Structure 1
Amino acid sequence: MRKKFSAIVAGLALLLAFQVGSASAESELDTQVSKLIGIDYSYGGTTTSGFDCSGFTSYVFKKLGMTLPHSSGQQYKLGDKVAKEELRAGDLVFFNTSGSGVSHVGVYVGDNKFAHAASKGVTISDLDEKYYAKRYLGARRVMSDETFEKVTSDSAAVM
C-alpha cells in the first residue's frame, strides 16, 4: 500500500514540477528535484533514505556537478546575494524557522516556488505561503551563468 501511495505522490509531484515554469520541464534541475519529491525528512539526512534541508540541497547540487556544505548557515555564505524579484531556478532560498538566524534552505524552481526537505518530507512550496513568507531571509546564487544554462535548458543531459 505504501509503495502505491508513494507512486501516486511521485506522479503528482512530477505533474507539479512540470508546471513550475522557469526551468523547463525537461531540464536536468527539474529531473533531479522531481526524483526526490516525497522522500521522508530525516535530521542529518543526505541520501534518498531521508533528507534534512541542507542535505537535500547538497544532494541536488552534487547531482548537478557542484559541492555544497551540509549546513544551511554555511550555504548562506556562498555565492552572491539575489533580490527576491531576481530569483532564477537553482538559486538557494533561506529562512529563519528557528528564531535564531538561518535554519532552513531550499532550491528555487521558478514561478515563486521552491523545493525543500520539510518536516513532511521533500516537497515544493510557494514563497508566498504565510509560514515561509514570514520567515524568508534571502537568496544566494551559487550557480554560474554557464551552469545555469546547462542545467535549466530542456536539452540538458539527464543524469
Structure 2
Amino acid sequence: MRKLFIVVFLIFLSASAVHAQMQLPFEYQQVVKKLISEFGKKSTTHYTEDPAEVSSSTLIDFAKKLIGIPYRYATSNPNVGFDCSGFVNYVFSNFGFNVPRSSTEFANTGNETSLKECKVGDVLVFTGSNPKIRQIGHVGIVYSVDGDKISFIHATSGKAHGVTITELNDYYKSRFLKVMRIL
C-alpha cells in the first residue's frame, strides 16, 4: 500500500511539474529516479528461488527470522501475527511452494514419511490441543534432527504464544499424527 501511495505521489508530482512547465530541481529528479527504480524491485523479505532448488537450511533460516511474532488465530501476516498453518504457509509460500492455509489440508500435501525418517524442513502434523481427539489441529516445520531428538518451529497459542522452537517432547508425541515432506 505504501509503495502504491509513493508511486501515485510521484506521478502526481511529475504531472504537476510538467503541467506548470517547470523542471524539477536536479536533486528531486535523482530522488524520483531512485524511488521508481526501487519500486520495481522485489521485497527483500520474499525469496524468489525456484521451489525445486530451495534447501532446508534456507527455509529454516527464513523461518527463524519470524521467531517472536505473536500468535493470532486465522492469520498469516507477519505484521499482525500467525496461527500455526498461517506460519507454515507463509514460510513455504515465500519460496514459491503452493501449500494449504489450513492445518487439516496438510494431511495430503507432499509425501508422507515416518518420524524416524523425517528431515529438517518436513512438516509435522499434530492433533489439536486434546490428543484424545485424533483430528488434525496443528502443524510445524522440523527445525533440527539430532538422533532421536527432534525440534520444530511453529506458531503456538500455548505458553510462548507466538513463533517459537519446541522440542518434540512427550506432550507433542502424544499429539503427533504424521510427517509430510514438501521439499
TM-score normalised by L of structure 1: 0.70
Q: Which amino acid aligns with 1:85?
A: K
- SS of structure 2 residue aligned to 1:138: strand
Across the two proteins, how many residue pairs are aligned to each other?
Answer: 118
Structure of larger gyration radius: 2
Letter in 2 for 1:68: V
**Secondary structure, aligned partner of 2:136:** coil
**Partner of residue 163, structure 2:** 122
Match of 2:135 among 94, 97, 101: 101
Q: Per-residue deviation at 1:130?
A: 2.2
Distance 1:50 1:61 in 2: 16
Structure 2 residue corresponding to 1:38, chosen from 59, 68, 74 = 68
1:61 aligns with 2:61: no
Does structure 1 residue 141 correspond to structure 2 residue 181? Answer: yes
Shift of residue 35 of structure 1?
0.8
The CA distance in 2 between the partners of 1:44 and 1:125, in whole Å, is 21
How far off is 1:30 after superposition? Answer: 2.4
Amino acid at match of 1:122: V
Give 2:127's aligned amino acid: N
Tell me the residue number matched to 1:28: 58
Instruction: Give the aligned residue type for 1:106.
Output: G
Structure 2 unaligned spans of 5+: 1-54
How much has 1:100 moved relative to structure 2? 4.4
Alignment of 1:1-20 (within 5 A): none
The offset of 1:29, in angstroms, is 1.5
How far apart, CA to CA, are the structure 2 residues paired with 1:37 and 1:87? 22
Tell me what 1:88 maps to.
119
Q: Which has the higher contact order (CA 8 A, sep 6+)?
A: 1
Contact 2:127 2:135 in 1 (8 A): yes
- Secondary structure of residue in 1 paired with 2:67: coil
Amino acid of the residue matched to residue 30 of structure 1? I
* Alignment partners' CA distance in 2, 1:91 and 1:30: 10
SS of residue matched to 1:87: coil
How do 1:72-83 and structure 2 match up within 5 A? 72-83=103-114
Give RMSD over aligned pairs. Answer: 1.5
